[in-house]
Amino acid sequence: MSLPGPSLEARPRRHPDSAFRPIADEGGLVVLPGRAEVKVLNPVGIRIFGLLDGAHSVGEIADVIAAEYEVAEADAREDVRAFLAQLEAHGMLQEGGH
Amino acid sequence: MSEVTPYRRMVETAFSQAIPLSAQFEITYRCNHLCTFCYNAPTGQREMTTPQIFEALGKIADFGVLYLTLTGGEAMCHRDFWAIAEETRRLGMALRLYSNGYLMADKAVVSRVAALHPMEVEISIHGARPESHEALTKIKGSFAKTVKALENLVEAGIKVNLKCPITRMNQDELFQIRDIGDGLGVFITFDAVITPKDDGDLSHMHLRPDDAFLERYWGEWYAELHRGKLPPKTNHCASEGATANCGTGRSGFTLDPYGNILPCVAFRRKVGNILEIDSLRQIWHTSPVLHEVRNLAVQARQRLDQHENGPYFTFCLGVAETQLGDPLAIYPQAEINAKSVKRAYTLLQIGQPITQKSA
């Protein structure tokens, strides 16, 4: 059974219309102006969102998370892919961006 | 007590740590209306050039501002408005636009606005009829254009807020003004405080609604006009229970057309000039002006807490300073509003315990 979310080689981009800001250690806000929505992400979520610049691969993002949050690489990969699938479902990624 | 949502919690963290989430950028004082009660007070200095505005936008974005409001004057009267708005979006900030709507009576203009994917567009309306609206804007035909703009924006799927500053000239037609918003499915907010001009000129203050009206407005009318919503007990930019009266110099800041950085749109003490600094980080936590302004906002809250109508005040330090020369002095409008809001809550018996345990 394949895991949800993009492959480890994909280089996803956040939605080009989105604006985001980390806030202290609590996480951050993502504004989706086209949908007039604001999403709240936890600290790991906003860290990942900030890395969705099209330059970082999913695998590289998972490595960053594994190192910064001291989780096993395999868990980080699974979690990052699942999180990206959620972002995609909420229209927070650029379509066809990975 | 209402539940604290994750969003509200995050906004409160930003407020307490003075992390500015929003900024208001007055890109020009040019305007196609001649509103008698406008608070703008151009000094005659040269406004920033478009490249300078771009430089300012870059510094605002670099500082991490999430929401940027373009305003004026009438922002759309800036000759490079479209380039400025596009740059705001390119830099990753959510765009809000404050406008009188006059130029958006043209569908082609609204299509360009839609392409910017603004977070929202806020349109000012001053009456329910051409006669009342235009008595304040002084521009014939402006009422029809504003209403047409609202229709165009709604049709384009853009989120619109309608805003009405209450004056003696429109105070008797608020329900009809609300009906215009309702007819289009647009939420309206009324503002009961007419502010002095930025330079302290009070000559238009006679336009403020009369005291008897304010009692009716905060009492019988408010909830009906706002679909059951109760009158606010705090400033919109501070939560109930916050240690500071408002978010001036804390949750946001304002930039005027000359590049001056101000604590907020109403409290216009110069913090610095954006063209003379490398980064807003340089001054945000070190500026003595901002430090004083934040302290004043805390002192204002403390002072209001000791007032008999304290829990019912919406108070603006900027209005107090321009009107009375002291940012902590309680100006008559705030006093009347607080008394009327308290009366409204007392009449509705809001905030009283429903049952009491017997001894």
Q: What is the CATH number for A52?
A: 1.10.10.1150
- Among A15, A23, A42, the strongest candidate for a mutation testing the B interface, having the largest count of B CBs within 10 A, is A23
Chain A nearest C-alpha distance from B299 (Å): 25
Residue A30 lies in a domain: yes
Q: What confidence tier does B350 reach under pLDDT thresholds 50, 70, 90?
A: low
B67–A26 C-beta distance less than 8 A: no
Beta bridge partners of B110: none
Tokens of B46: 């040269």
Find the length of chain B. 359
Nearest CA-CA partner of B40 in B23, B56, B59, B27:
B27
Into how many domains does chain A fold?
A: 1
H-assigned helices in chain B: 6-16, 50-62, 81-90, 107-115, 130-137, 142-155, 174-184, 211-216, 222-225, 281-284, 288-305, 317-324, 332-348
- What's the pTM value of the predicted model, to 2 decimals? 0.90
Nearest CA-CA partner of A84 in A71, B119, A18, A57:
A57
* CB nearest to B10's CB, from A18, A27, A36: A27
Q: How far does Cα B266 stand from its chain's mean position? A: 9
A54 CB neighbours in chain B (<8 A) are: none
Tokens of B232: 């606010």
* CB nearest to B94's CB, from A23, A26, A31: A31
Dihedral, B342, B343, B345, B347 alpha carbons, nearest 10: 160
Tokens of B34: 């001649």
Chain A nearest C-alpha distance from B186 (Å): 14
Residue A27 lies in a domain: yes
Tokens of B348: 């509705």
Residue A77 lies in a domain: yes
Q: Which residue of A has its CA nearest to B68?
A: A19
Residue A42 lies in a domain: yes
Q: Which residue of B has its CA nearest to A22?
A: B64
B64 CB neighbours in chain A (<8 A) are: 21
- How far, in Å, CA of A65 to CA of A74, rounded? 11
Q: How distant, in Å, are the alpha carbons of A4, A76, B177 from that of A1?
A: 9, 18, 59
Q: How many CB pairs under 8 A join A and B?
A: 51
- How far, in Å, CA of B263 to CA of B77, rounded? 25
Q: Return the SS3 of A31.
A: strand
- Write out pLDDT tens, residues B250-301: 999 999 999 999 999 999 999 999 999 999 999 999 999 999 999 999 999 9
Under an 8 Å CB criterion, which residues of B touch A?
Answer: 6-7, 9-10, 13-14, 17, 19, 21, 64-67, 89, 92-95, 117-120, 159
Q: Strand A19-23: give its sheet, edge to edge.
A: A19-23, A27-32, A37-41
What residues of chain A, 47 to 76, have a C-beta less than 8 Å from chain B? none
Q: How distant, in Å, are the alpha carbons of A82, B126, B179, B208, B209 from that of B134?
A: 56, 8, 18, 17, 17
Nearest CA-CA partner of A10 in A56, A53, A75:
A56
A20 CB neighbours in chain B (<8 A) are: 66, 92
Tokens of A37: 């929505």
- How far, in Å, CA of B139 to CA of B155, rounded? 25
Residue A6 lies in a domain: no
Q: Can you give the residue range of the structural domain that contains A53?
A: 19-89
Predicted pLDDT of residue A2: 58
| A45 inside 8 A of chain B by CB | no
Longest C-alpha distance within chain B, in Å?
A: 72
Chain B nearest C-alpha distance from A85 (Å): 22
Task: Judge contact between B95 and B89, C-beta under 8 A.
Answer: yes
- How far, in Å, CA of A36 to CA of B83, rounded? 22
- Write out pLDDT tens, residues A8-32: 999 999 998 889 999 988 999 999 8
Residue A95 lies in a domain: no
- Write out pLDDT tens, residues B302-325: 999 999 998 898 899 999 999 899
- Among A15, A30, A31, the strongest candidate for a mutation testing the B interface, having the largest count of B CBs within 10 A, is A31
Predicted pLDDT of residue B343: 86
One-letter amino acid at B123 equals I
B13–A36 C-beta distance less than 8 A: no
Q: Return the SS3 of B27.
A: coil
* CB nearest to A33's CB, from B19, B64, B117: B117
Q: Return the SS3 of B250.
A: coil
Average pLDDT for chain B: 91
Q: What confidence tier does B193 reach under pLDDT thresholds 50, 70, 90?
A: confident
Q: Which residue of B has its CA nearest to A37?
A: B119
Tokens of B161: 């807020």
Percentage, residues of chain B above pLDDT 90: 69
- How far, in Å, CA of B80 to CA of B60, rounded? 18
ipTM value, please give it: 0.84
Chain B nearest C-alpha distance from A79 (Å): 22
B89 CB neighbours in chain A (<8 A) are: 17, 33
